[in-house]
């Protein structure tokens, strides 16, 4: 995938022209136009050109290059700099995180994608299909992509919820196992990672709503409030899953103990049953001259049968009282 994915000028919500990165300042002379630039893991070289075109702050450019930032919002002069983490559920149990950085000015928006995130061509197409919204400027583009990013967290979190259900199933239906415990731990780890990616978003959204930022028209505020709402829902789902997981861990623990108690009881019960024939055999094994019925032909079988009877009785008694 090339570094500069797209570099397009828009006016009145309509795509006007593809411009070259070097000639962006010319396009910006038209007061009604704004430029939307999409970059993918850009080289220092490209970033430097962008910096010069839009007069961006050193620190923001450094962040945009190095990536591995935590989600944040900064205002350098009139330019807004936003960092978001993106997430994708690759397989059921594996989440891949990426990063997207935004530089938003009055007449430009630069979007820098890092890591395994999906391209935003779909969002661009959708925006171009609603010119009345796109005409609100870079602020709306920012909203559209943030909305796209946040919406992709829902399947991720649903995946984690499903995982919790699998764990519940195992805890309450199967016997306790080392695997379940390790799964609980892994799920906890994933939840923490998602939490870490999502929770700063609330602060970001509420700052976009509350503060008066020049590069974002006030009309778009309800839209950011909407994202704020989605983020709160995701956050709540994560917290919920986390709390249930903690309870699951404790329930698991209780069940392990109950299971251990069952083992002990079962063992004790069988030991008691086996103690009977041992004792009986011991008595008739004593070397007394006068042992009862030793001369009777069916003595042996009688004793065996009697013992078996007592054992069966014990078995049923133990069964009834829950020891077996």
Question: How far apart are CB 266 and a copy of itself at their closest, in Å?
Answer: 7
Helix axes 299-320, 221-284, angle to 10 degrees: 160
Comparison of 28 and 149: residue with beta carbon closer to a copy of itself: 149
- With the CA atoms of 264, 266, 267 and 269 taken in that order, what torsion angle do they form, in degrees rounded to the nearest 10? 120
d(CA 3, CA 49): 13
Q: Output 124 or 242, the one with its CB closest to a copy of itself.
A: 242
- Decide: 86 and 69 in contact? Cβ < 8 Å: no
Least Å from the CB of residue 179 to a copy of itself: 10
Question: What is the CA 262 to chain-centroid distance, rounded?
Answer: 36
**Beta carbon nearer to a copy of itself, 128 or 161:** 161
CA-CA distance, 121 to 129, in Å (whole number)? 12
Q: How far apart are CA 279 and CA 238, in angstroms?
A: 61
Q: How far is the CB of 34 from a copy of itself (least distance, A)?
A: 22
Q: Of 40 and 230, which has the nearer Cβ to a copy of itself?
A: 230
Shortest distance, CB of residue 243 to a copy of itself, whole angstroms? 6
Q: Which residues of 21-44 are buried (b: 16+ CB within 10 A; e: fewer)?
A: beebeebbeeeebbbbbbbbebee
Closer CB to a copy of itself, residue 172 or residue 211?
172
Q: SS3 sequence, 199-262?
A: HHHHHHHHHHHHCCCCCCCHHHHHHHHHHHHHHHHHHHHHHHHHHHHHHHHHHHHHHHHHHHHH
Given the complex with a copy of itself, which of 106 and 233 has the nearer CB atom? Answer: 233
């Amino acid at each position: 995938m090339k570094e500069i994915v797209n570099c397009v000028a828009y006016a009145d919500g309509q795509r006007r022209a593809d411009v070259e990165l070097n000639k962006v300042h010319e396009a910006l002379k038209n007061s009604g136009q704004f430029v939307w630039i999409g970059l993918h893991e850009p080289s220092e070289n490209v970033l430097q050109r962008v910096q010069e075109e839009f007069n961006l702050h050193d620190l923001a450019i450094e962040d945009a290059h190095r990536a591995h930032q935590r989600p944040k919002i900064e205002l350098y002069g009139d330019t807004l700099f936003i960092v978001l983490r993106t997430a994708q559920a690759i397989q059921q149990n594996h989440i891949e995180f990426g990063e997207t950085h935004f530089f938003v000015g009055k007449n430009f928006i630069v979007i820098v994608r890092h890591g395994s995130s999906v391209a935003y061509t779909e969002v661009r197409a959708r925006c171009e299909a609603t010119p009345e919204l796109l005409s609100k400027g870079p602020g709306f583009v920012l909203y559209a992509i943030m909305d796209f990013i946040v919406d992709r967290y829902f399947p991720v979190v649903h995946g984690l919820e499903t995982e919790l259900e699998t764990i519940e199933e195992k805890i309450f239906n199967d016997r306790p196992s080392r695997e379940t415990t390790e799964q609980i731990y892994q799920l906890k780890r994933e939840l923490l990672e998602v939490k870490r990616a999502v929770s700063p978003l609330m602060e970001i959204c509420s700052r976009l709503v509350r503060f008066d930022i020049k590069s974002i028209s006030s009309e778009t505020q309800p839209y950011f409030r909407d994202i704020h709402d989605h983020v709160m829902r995701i956050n709540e789902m994560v917290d919920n899953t986390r709390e249930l997981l903690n309870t699951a861990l404790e329930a698991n623990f209780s069940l392990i103990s109950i299971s251990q108690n069952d083992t002990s009881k079962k063992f004790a019960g069988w030991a008691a049953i086996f103690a009977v024939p041992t004792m009986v055999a011991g008595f008739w094994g004593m070397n007394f001259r006068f042992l009862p019925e030793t001369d009777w032909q069916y003595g042996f079988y009688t004793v065996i049968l009697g013992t078996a009877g007592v054992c069966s009785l014990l078995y049923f008694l133990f069964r009834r009282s829950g020891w077996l």
